[in-house]
Amino acid sequence: MSTREPGSLAGRVAVVTGAGGGIGSEVATELGRRGATVVAVDPGVSVTGEPVGEQSAAATVARVQDVGGVARASTVSVTDAVAVADLFRGVVDEFGSLDIVVNTAGILRFPKLAETTEDDWRAVLDVHLTGYLNVLSAALPIMASAGYGRIVGVTSGVGLARTSPDGPAYGSAKRSVAALTWKLGRVAPPGVTVNALSPIAATRMISEALRAAGVGPAGLDLSAMPQPEEMAPAAAYLCSEQIGWCNGRVLFCAGSEVSIIAPPTVVEAVRTSGVDDFAGALGTLVPVVFAPAEQQQRTNGGSNPRFDRAILSASAPVGGN
């Protein structure tokens, strides 16, 4: 049994990608505040992914140190699978373990669907989806071998409930992150959790997206929105020992509000036309068809052919064939 205080990450080693700003920087700082050794990873690119040589990872390291934490910087890009794997192995060699990975790395491009180029699709998907796959591929074997690990991905409502025709690559990638989370949580190695955060906060991405949508400076007051630092406690909780009960979950976070986003569920369909006694048929459909189907979540995607027998049986006159 652990002797750590609830919420403490003392002795844990964490890698945070996209740690140069916004939510990533706040998460890295919070993990450092809670005692984790933090490797802040950010290649120093613009919101749209162009290299600009920003020393953003180093700036986050300074923030972690300001709150009493231990940190170092890396400029590795999550799009480079070899570099990510080398980084993670190096972290284990240097600090003794790799306990936590929070993948907040992301870029955003803003053309509408008809105007999106192949380069736009490739750039966004490479960071959000392929980059996350690179992180998972490198981290999971290390954590499986150690028998412990916490992986936190980042998805978005843009890819879940409110997909937008502006920036379709971003929405598609974030939907994929959620789908991976729901599936991987079921098969994660013992002691390892894979969850995702769906945050809403006033980040640089939000500001740039609003500008791209034509919102003028007067419309860019985001002070009423949750701030990036308000996402950090939820992310830190997903990195803690206490979260072992929670695996394969997507959590929506808006600062003071946190809720679980349920995965899609299959809706069974049944025809009602041409049925003599549909109310009577329900007496058979519910216990014989709906309940088992709900448990197994299987369907052919349309009206279930099993229902025909149930309806005919329930509609037939007593004593009929």
Residue positions annotated with a catalytic role? 170
Record the tokens describing residue 118, joined without a space.
């192949």
Half-sphere exposure of 24 (CA within 13 A, CB side): 31
Residue 67 has a CB neighbour count (10 Å cut-off) of 12
Distance CA 268, CA 299 (A): 7
Q: Which residue has the tokens 């080398």?
A: 86
3-state SS, residue 261: strand
CB 127 within 8 A of CB 105: yes
Q: What distance in Å separates the CA atoms of residue 210 and residue 220, rounded to the nearest whole number?
A: 7
Specify the DSSP element, H or E, that contains 221: none
Distance separating alpha carbons of residues 84 and 149, to the nearest angstrom: 17
H-only helix segments in the chain:
22-33, 56-66, 81-95, 118-125, 131-146, 168-187, 204-212, 232-238, 278-284, 291-296, 306-315
Angstrom distances, CA of residue 9 to CA of 14, 30, 120, 141, 288: 9, 10, 38, 21, 49
Distances (CA, A) of 99 to 11, 81, 104: 9, 19, 16
Pick from 290, 243, 236: nearest CA to 104: 236
Give 147's DSSP letter: T
Contacts of 280 (CB under 8 A, 6+ apart): 314, 315
